[in-house]
Structure 1
Amino acid sequence: MNKSKWGRGGHLMNNSKWGPIGVGVATGFLSGLFGVGGGILMVPCLVLLLGMEQRRAHGTSLGAMVLISASALGGFLLEGSVAWAPGLLIFAGASVGVTVGTSLLDRVPIRLLRVGFALLLLATAARFLAIAPDTDGHSDITVALAFAYVACGLATGLLSGTMGVGGGVIMIPALILLFGFVDPTAKGTSLLVILPTSIVGTLRNRRSGNIDPKSALTVGTSGVASAFVGALGASALSPRLSGILFAILLIVSAVQMLRHANDPSPSSEAI
């Protein structure tokens, strides 16, 4: 007997583990290579390929990212490409910003925010495509710089809370273009922030029932190895090639944001 069934909208939901495994492997590699959560790929796959309901897909994606981001972070740690103090300062701001952003969901025109954010992503992508950022590493932390990191986290959290996206596509350009991080360290530090954010969000989604624990575990476990490989490969990319590939990711993110500009706001995902 065929164990597959047709999900919402005529999409095939595969009850075997091959569908979630494929999603996990692909998303894990993306997470490791670019230092992002991977939700920009995982959520559409869960909805369109596995027939999962949209809000539940966001929660499941966030749960899977706990394992995937931990593995990817491990790869960057081995390469010494994680800035602990800046990452913790950014997380401190993000934890406040995401709480405030979530409370603004019913007060702010979400469509306007999503369109504006998509335009920002496109402008950032153009900057990466035009010329490789000239960076020589982040500076030692001063009081002013510490406040700047917290402000970066606050802005990241606000955008995450109001638009249902995670922090990777925001943090990495900010760390490279504003704070002078070299590419691998920006990615590793981004994952350092994403990991605890994913844990907190998953606990919240579990209380509200917006997660499929079995699928999250399957997808997350499947992406552990590929995330680690992607993280090791990230350090081997030239800054120019890395910038071009990341610009493509930003463009894909912007297009998806515009396509869903009128959708109700989902729970935050780690991107």
Structure 2
Amino acid sequence: MDVAASPRRGARAYAAFVVIGLLAGLLSGLFGVGGGTVIVPLLVLLLQFDQRIAAGTSLAAIVPTATVGVVSYAVSGSVAWVPAIILAAGAVVGAQIGTWLLPRISQTALRWGFFGFLVVVIASLFLVIPSRDAAFALTWWSGIALVAVGVGAGLLAGLIGVGGGVIVVPVLMLAFGTSDLVAKGTSLLMMIPTAVSGTVGNIRHRNVDLIAAAVIGASACTTTALGAWLATIIDPAAGNMLFAAYLVVIAAQMAMKAIRGRKRG
């Protein structure tokens, strides 16, 4: 950790860590995402974190958050264990490729491309309502497709820092016909090895604030189970609408970053 790039350690900073963690944990459990889309911008905007340290801190905080989320979904049998492992294997490889490609590809073009992907997903969520009774049928073909999805999720994570859940959850629901709960539980399980691997690398490169990550992660763990419970009692159609609203916020973030990047260019 680069101490100079971290915020002052006053009461305000620790209070902000707790609030950020509570919000990230709730959204993580509710939508099956890591919470990085909440943690990173808030650390940068509220506490003036360096972007790289904010991303590394977020990834470290995701490890305990996703673990609690997986346990919460597993209690109701809403985790597809083998597909999650396949996705994680693809994501780890994809993240390495994304990191290698990072200096070679236009970030602005990538962000606009991802914005377009989110627009399609948001529109699809209004047309396809997942069935809570749907089971994931693992075959050779679906296994190969899962590897491709994992690689794609890891690739985007490495290139533009987008968490895998934003990609994996809608793809599992819309392309594989998985129930919304299984999609979310499986997404959270997939994140754990990916986040651990990324955190080890970030620690090595001093791109993580471990104190902030610990406070945020511990706070998030207190609301993740609540979010997962809310997901089980919310009607699937209403859940789709809420997830669509969440993706609109992410799409807006991507568009603003793309516009700023084009202006700088």
Q: Same fold (TM over 0.5)?
A: yes
Equivalent residues in 2 for 1:30-45, closer than 5 Å: 30-45=27-42
User: In structure 2, what is the equivalent of residue 65 of structure 1?
Assistant: 62
- Shift in Å, 1:41: 0.9
Q: Deviations over 1:185-216 (max 9, x none)?
A: 00000001111111111111111011111011
* One-letter amino acid of the counterpart of residue 99, structure 1: Q
TM-score scaled to structure 2, two decimals?
Answer: 0.91
Q: Report if aligned partners of 1:13, 1:49 keep a CA contact under 8 Å in 2.
A: no
The one of 248, 251, 259 aligned to 2:248: 251
* One-letter amino acid of the counterpart of residue 132, structure 1: I
Distance change in 2, residues 1:145/1:245 (3 Å): same
Asked if 1:107 is matched to 2:86, the reply is no
SS at match of 1:260: helix
- Shift in Å, 1:45: 1.0
The Cα RMSD (Å) is: 1.9
CA distance in 2, matches of 1:189, 1:85: 9
CA distance in 1, matches of 2:226, 2:15: 20
Runs of 4+ in 1 over 3 A off after TM superposition: 133-136
Asked if 1:15 is matched to 2:26, the reply is no
Distance change in 2, residues 1:77/1:140 (3 Å): same
The one of 179, 184, 189 aligned to 2:186: 189
CA distance in 2, matches of 1:157, 1:138: 25
User: In structure 2, what is the equivalent of residue 172 of structure 1?
Assistant: 169
The one of 160, 181, 193 aligned to 1:163: 160
- Shift in Å, 1:86: 0.8
User: In structure 1, what is the equivalent of residue 74 of structure 2?
Assistant: 77
The one of 107, 117, 121 aligned to 2:118: 121
- Shift in Å, 1:136: 4.8
Q: Report if aligned partners of 1:102, 1:162 keep a CA contact under 8 Å in 2.
A: yes
Distance change in 2, residues 1:189/1:263 (3 Å): farther
CA distance in 2, matches of 1:135, 1:116: 31
SS at match of 1:49: helix
* One-letter amino acid of the counterpart of residue 118, structure 1: F
Unaligned runs of 5+ in 1: 1-6, 265-271
CA distance in 2, matches of 1:148, 1:53: 36
- Shift in Å, 1:129: 2.6
CA distance in 1, matches of 2:27, 2:249: 13
- Shift in Å, 1:112: 0.5
* One-letter amino acid of the counterpart of residue 21, structure 1: V
Q: Report if aligned partners of 1:60, 1:211 keep a CA contact under 8 Å in 2.
A: yes
CA distance in 1, matches of 2:220, 2:105: 35
TM-score scaled to structure 1, two decimals?
Answer: 0.89
* One-letter amino acid of the counterpart of residue 231, structure 2: A
Asked if 1:29 is matched to 2:26, the reply is yes
CA distance in 2, matches of 1:199, 1:225: 20
- Shift in Å, 1:140: 2.8
Q: Report if aligned partners of 1:136, 1:180 keep a CA contact under 8 Å in 2.
A: no
Q: Report if aligned partners of 1:110, 1:261 keep a CA contact under 8 Å in 2.
A: yes
* One-letter amino acid of the counterpart of residue 15, structure 1: G
User: In structure 2, what is the equivalent of residue 267 of structure 1?
Assistant: none
SS at match of 2:47: coil
Q: Deviations over 1:60-115 (max 9, x none)?
A: 11111111111111110111100001111111111111111110011111211110
CA distance in 2, matches of 1:87, 1:173: 14
SS at match of 1:261: helix
* One-letter amino acid of the counterpart of residue 54, structure 2: A
Distance change in 2, residues 1:237/1:14 (3 Å): farther
* One-letter amino acid of the counterpart of residue 240, structure 1: A
My pick for the range that moved more, 170-179 or 92-101, is: 92-101
User: In structure 2, what is the equivalent of residue 215 of structure 1?
Assistant: 212
* One-letter amino acid of the counterpart of residue 10, structure 2: N
My pick for the range that moved more, 145-154 or 212-221, is: 145-154
Bigger helix fraction: 2
